[in-house]
Each structure stands twice: as C-alpha cells, then as structure tokens.
Structure 1
Amino acid sequence: MVWDEPVPISRDQARAAYLSVKRTRPVAGEVPDIAKELPGEIALYPGHVLVSMDLDTMDETSAQVFAVARAHGMVCYDPQRDLVHNVAPLGVYEGMQLHTGDGMVVHDPDLGLVHDVLATLSAQNPFVALVNFGRHFLQVSPGFELEYKEGTLVSTVVPELAEVRAAFHEYATGDRSFLSRHRWTPA
C-alpha cells in the first residue's frame, strides 16, 4: 500500500493504516498519477493505493512499487513482510542496496527499514546485506555472524541483535566504529 505521510512512520503505524484501509471499500474516480506508474493490479482508497501482485513475481513487483513510491515521496507498506519503506532518513551512500535471503532488494533503503529487516533473520531469510557495489558491504546471517568486505573479507560473531543493528546503522551512516568494537578474522 502506498500513501503520503509527512514524517517517517513506524512499522506498527503502517500496519494499523493498512488494516484500517482494508476495512473500507475501494473508491472510483480519477486515477492519481502515481497509480498510473505502479505495476500490478491497483485498488484506490481515499488517500491510498493498494497494489496486488502474484506471489511468483512479488519480489520484482515490490521493488518496482518501492521505487515508484520513493520517486513520489510516498511511504510504502509491504503487508507480506510486515515492513514499511519510508522516504527518509537514508544512509550516506547513494545507490546502497539492501538484499535479503528471501529475495527482497531495495535501492537506497531508509534506516528504519534496515533496522526492521534485521529482525527477520531466519531459515527463510538466511542473510541481510547492505551493499555498496564495487566498494564494500556488510552482511549478517542467523547466529549473528557479521561479514565485512572492503578489499579483504573479514568476519566476527556478535552476541545479540542489538549489536547487529548498531553495526548496520553505523555502516549505513558512514561510521566505522563497528570495526574497532569487535575482533575480526579473515573469512
């Protein structure tokens, strides 16, 4: 679901908005410009556009929806993954990509999305990575094994999700404190 929000919202707020809209009926009328650009089947609700998609093409379609929403400065909620994509705040690396082991790829992810995605590590989502192609990346797998590559691939294991989130936040914002806080070994 895509709509306008004046400030970044939490996943709980996005979920509540989605559930509220789903309890109403779609409306007819003039199709907003953003809806003309969205892939998949759309339904219009007051102030909201709901995009339906096939599970077989969900990853590709979702990426297109996220990109269109971002281009229009709108928030996007993915009810399948229970994730919200805000317009800001972003990391410092233009073109940075968020990749997950369950197939999600987001260009220029907002920091809240990165935070929330890290809690989805599981057998179904075996890794989360922030990638700056041709430069460096940070990746984590279940068990909280962090891998960082900037020339040489190094790894470490951290004790809890909070430390993973701190490392990913620092990496995304250009802070390299996570490198000195842990003992890294060549992978």
Structure 2
Amino acid sequence: MSMELMVWRENEPITREQAAQTYSLAQGTPPADTVVPEVAALAKEVPGHARLFPEHALIVMEPDDLDEVSNRVFALARHYGLVCYDPQRHLVHNLAPLGVDPETQLHTGDGMLVTNPDLALVHDVLGTLSPQNPFAVLVTFGRHFIQVSPGYELEYKEGTIRRTMVPALEEVRRAFHEYAIGERGFLERFHWSAR
C-alpha cells in the first residue's frame, strides 16, 4: 500500500489540524502543469514520486522506499521553504521555530529522520510513542542526546548516560524542548541514575 506526503507553501507555522484540513481540501484538486516554483523544484528532486497540483505536490512512496524518500522530502521541503504534512503519522513539518543547533536530528522508532526539526514537530512526535514507535531521540552527534521510550524512561548522554523515569508526557515534552533550545533545566528537575 502506497503512502504519501504533501508539500506546499505557508506564511507561518501551522498546526497538525490545519495541515490535515489543507490536505483534505487538496484531495479534490485536479493535477496541473503550472505549479508553484518551489514545489516544482522539490518534485524534480524526487523523480517518479511526485504528483503536481497548482499549489502543492503529493509525494507518493511505496513501503520499501518510505524511509529513504520521506527523509529526503523532509530535508528538501525545508530547503525550498515548504511545509510538509505526513498524513500517515498525522505530523506537520514547519519551517520554524527551530532549536539552537541546526545539526540536531530527530529520530523515531518508526523510521522518521529529520535534521533540524521544528519545535512543534518534536512536541507532536513525543505524543506518538507506542509499540509501533518505540522511541524518540534528539541527537547532536559526537556531543549529546536525549531519548525517551514508552513508559517515559528518559535517557540523557553527555559523556556518560543518565537515566530517569518521568511521570508524564508533558514533562518529557518540556525536557525535549529545553534540550532543543540549549537549556538543561531538566537535569536539575529529575533524579538521574548513571547507566
């Protein structure tokens, strides 16, 4: 069964609900030869996967190439200044606001990889932890990372790995947000044990 992403321009960050509504409304749009230039440029970089419409493109992927193509599309959407909506995961990739380190990557247990993810995406991804998505991690390779798994076991590594259990999703989201913006208040709030 094929899966798809939708890319288009937005003037400001949007919510998952707004992205889902835009995606739903776009379903009745007829294909077009004339397309927004940034959307057309992105489509050229994923040949064989894009269906073009006047204001957006649908990037269609088969399960075998889902991770590779979707991760490429996330990067291309940022490069071309486009919003990307993932209807399967019900996640939207906005252009801003971002964390402090453009090399930070968001990895998930269901195969998503996003370099320099927007803060709302990080927030929303944490709500998708499940047996099908068994972890989420923000990593700045060679320096440090923060990771969580279902049940809210939080790990932080900077030199040594520390581990703690966090009681609620909102506390996990707060810790990931702090990590992304370069703050480390979560290190003081929780009782950590060395691994």
Quote the Cα distance in structure 2 between the aligned partners of 1:176 and 1:92.
13
**Unpaired stretches in structure 1, ≥5 consecutive residues:** none
Q: CA deviation at 1:39?
A: 4.6
Of residues 30, 34, 47, the one that matches 1:25 is: 30
**Unpaired stretches in structure 2, ≥5 consecutive residues:** 1-5
TM-score under structure 1 normalisation? 0.96
Q: Which residue of 2 aligns with 1:2?
A: 7
3-state SS, counterpart of residue 171 of structure 1: helix
Percent identity between the two aligned chains: 60
Of residues 152, 160, 177, the one that matches 2:160 is: 152
Q: Which residue of 2 aligns with 1:97?
A: 105
> Which portions of structure 1, spanning 4 or more consecutive aligned residues, are displaced by more than 4 angstroms?
none
Q: CA deviation at 1:94?
A: 1.9
Q: Which residue of 1 aligns with 2:19?
A: 14
2:82 aligned with 1:74: yes
Q: Which residue of 2 aligns with 1:65?
A: 73
Q: CA deviation at 1:23?
A: 2.3
2:140 aligned with 1:132: yes
2:184 aligned with 1:173: no
Of residues 75, 83, 94, the one that matches 2:91 is: 83
| 1:21 counterpart letter in structure 2 | A
Q: CA deviation at 1:33?
A: 2.3
CA RMSD of aligned residues (A): 1.2
Deviations 1:27-77 (A, max 9, x none): 234672232123542111221111101111111100111111100111100
TM-score under structure 2 normalisation? 0.92
CA contact (8 A) 1:100 1:126 kept: yes
Quote the Cα distance in structure 2 between the aligned partners of 1:83 and 1:180.
31
Quote the Cα distance in structure 2 between the aligned partners of 1:75 and 1:60.
18
3-state SS, counterpart of residue 80 of structure 1: coil
Q: 1:39 to 1:70 in 2, by over 3 A?
A: farther
Deviations 1:132-175 (A, max 9, x none): 00000000000001000000100111111000000000000001
3-state SS, counterpart of residue 109 of structure 1: coil
3-state SS, counterpart of residue 78 of structure 2: helix
2:62 aligned with 1:54: yes
Quote the Cα distance in structure 2 between the aligned partners of 1:151 and 1:69.
34
Quote the Cα distance in structure 2 between the aligned partners of 1:110 and 1:5.
14
Quote the Cα distance in structure 2 between the aligned partners of 1:135 and 1:119.
26
Quote the Cα distance in structure 2 between the aligned partners of 1:117 and 1:167.
14
Quote the Cα distance in structure 2 between the aligned partners of 1:92 and 1:145.
24
| 1:140 counterpart letter in structure 2 | V
CA contact (8 A) 2:33 2:54 kept: no
Quote the Cα distance in structure 2 between the aligned partners of 1:4 and 1:94.
21
Q: What is the count of residue pairs matched by the alignment?
A: 187
Deviations 1:100-126 (A, max 9, x none): 011111111110100000001000111
